[in-house]
């Protein structure tokens, strides 16, 4: 395959971000863009000479007969038909998280992808960070009991994010990165219990998600993780609002998102700066898998991402029931 022909569905921030990365990779041709927002579609289209522009994905699939891959970068509640139609046409899929707001629909998409036998990847880019690989290798030789994760900050400006029926809430839409990285390190979960509160954010039109939450996840490996989520904070300088802490028997590992990793041992602290190239590596790995027909280096397939999604959906269920959810 000389050129991987790519379409992008969604011309918001992430659609443009992936476009910029794709334009840096040899052997990729972005041939089509899709957005229901005419202004965003036009602005993004100006970045690529010759790209064809569409206002809906079905039209693109009908007219673009040679697509190899599609990047789906839409709000969580807009997933579904775009993935299923692509799978039915044999088009490989790179899907931004979260993959859905409904577990039932996610399982339907998974079935379509598996039936088609296409290559799939989901945007859990932190798995491609070399420091994540280093941590994963380190903890395999050490005992871990407790893990603390956090995604603490403000509220994104897009309207759909504020509606739980559209975004799934902060746990599903944003903190999913923390849940996924912990799952990547420690395997599958046994149970999920989550408690949340509201009332800290006022007078925001359409806002109906939780202001903050605390989730306890027990893993089959014996690890107990607590993940804190909050969207009511103002921007605080010098505050590492996202990351996790892994407490080993002889070392504490602090992972500050996109900043640095610290290994605190008995007599020393080892620090490593995070280079922040994980998004590009994730996209590059997906494109290479298509070129070679070998998906073995993709670190988060759609089927794998469903397992992370299941944990975050279970947290939402626990908030409503006030009871643990067993997986």
Residues in a beta bridge with 281: none
> For domain 126-274+310-326, is the CATH number 3.40.50.620?
no
Q: Residue with structure tokens 């050129």?
A: 3
Confidence at residue 2, expressed as pLDDT on a 0 to 100 scale: 77
Residue 175: C-alpha distances to residues 20, 90, 134, 277 (Å)? 25, 31, 22, 20
CB-count burial class (<10 Å; 0-12, 13-18, 19+) for 102: middle
Q: Read off the tokens for 19.
A: 């476009």
Where in the chain is CATH 3.30.360.10?
A: 126-274+310-326
Confidence at residue 240, expressed as pLDDT on a 0 to 100 scale: 87
Distance CA 211, CA 137 (A): 35
Distance CA 246, CA 252 (A): 6
Where in the chain is CATH 3.40.50.720?
A: 4-124+279-301
Contacts of 277 (CB under 8 A, 6+ apart): none
Please give the class, per CATH, of domain 4-124+279-301. Answer: alpha beta
CA 203 to chain centre: 29
Dihedral, CA atoms, 50, 69, 17, 10, nearest 10 degrees? 80
- Specify the pTM: 0.96
Per-residue pLDDT of the chain (327 residues; tens, 9 = 90+): 679 999 999 999 999 999 999 999 999 999 999 999 999 999 999 999 899 999 999 999 999 999 999 999 999 999 999 999 999 999 999 999 999 999 999 999 999 999 999 999 999 999 999 999 999 999 998 999 999 999 999 999 899 999 999 999 999 999 999 999 999 999 999 999 999 999 999 999 999 999 999 999 999 999 999 999 999 998 777 788 999 999 999 999 999 999 999 999 999 999 999 988 999 999 999 999 999 999 999 999 999 999 999 999 999 999 999 999 999
What value does the CA radius of gyration of the chain take, rounded to a whole number of Å? Answer: 20
Confidence at residue 141, expressed as pLDDT on a 0 to 100 scale: 86
Q: Starting at the earlier edge strand, list the strands of the sheet with 224-230.
A: 269-273, 260-264, 252-256, 242-248, 144-152, 224-230, 212-219, 189-197, 325-326
Residue 270: C-alpha distances to residues 157, 168, 254, 257, 263 (Å)? 37, 37, 10, 17, 5
């Amino acid at each position: 395959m000389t050129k991987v022909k790519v379409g992008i569905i969604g011309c918001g921030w992430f659609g443009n971000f992936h476009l910029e990365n794709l334009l840096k990779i040899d052997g990729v041709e972005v041939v089509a863009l899709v957005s229901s927002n005419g202004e965003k579609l036009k602005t993004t289209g100006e970045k690529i000479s010759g790209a064809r522009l569409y206002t809906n994905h079905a039209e693109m699939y009908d007219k673009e007969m040679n697509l190899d891959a599609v990047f789906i970068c839409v709000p969580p509640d807009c997933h579904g038909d775009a993935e299923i139609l692509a799978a039915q046409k044999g088009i490989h899929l790179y899907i931004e998280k979260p993959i859905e707001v409904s577990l039932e629909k996610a399982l339907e998409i998974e079935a379509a992808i598996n039936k088609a036998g296409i290559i799939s990847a989901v945007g859990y880019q932190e798995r491609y960070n070399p420091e994540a690989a280093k941590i994963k290798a380190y903890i395999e030789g050490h005992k871990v009991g407790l893990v603390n994760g956090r995604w603490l900050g403000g509220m994104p400006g897009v309207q759909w994010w504020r509606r739980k029926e559209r975004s799934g809430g902060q746990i599903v839409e944003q903190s999913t990165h923390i849940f996924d990285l912990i799952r990547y390190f420690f395997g599958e979960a046994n149970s999920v219990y989550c408690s949340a509160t509201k009332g800290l954010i006022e007078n925001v039109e359409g806002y109906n998600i939780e202001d903050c939450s605390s989730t306890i996840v027990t893993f089959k490996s014996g690890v107990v993780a607590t993940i804190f989520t909050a969207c009511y904070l103002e921007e605080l300088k010098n505050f590492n609002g996202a990351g996790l802490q892994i407490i080993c028997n002889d070392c504490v590992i602090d992972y500050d998102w996109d900043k640095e990793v610290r290994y605190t041992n008995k007599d020393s602290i080892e620090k490593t700066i995070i280079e922040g190239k994980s998004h590009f590596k994730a996209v590059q790995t997906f494109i290479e898998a298509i070129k070679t027909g070998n998906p073995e280096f993709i670190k988060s397939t759609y089927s794998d991402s469903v397992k992370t999604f299941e944990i975050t959906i279970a947290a939402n269920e626990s908030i409503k029931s006030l009871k643990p959810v067993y997986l």
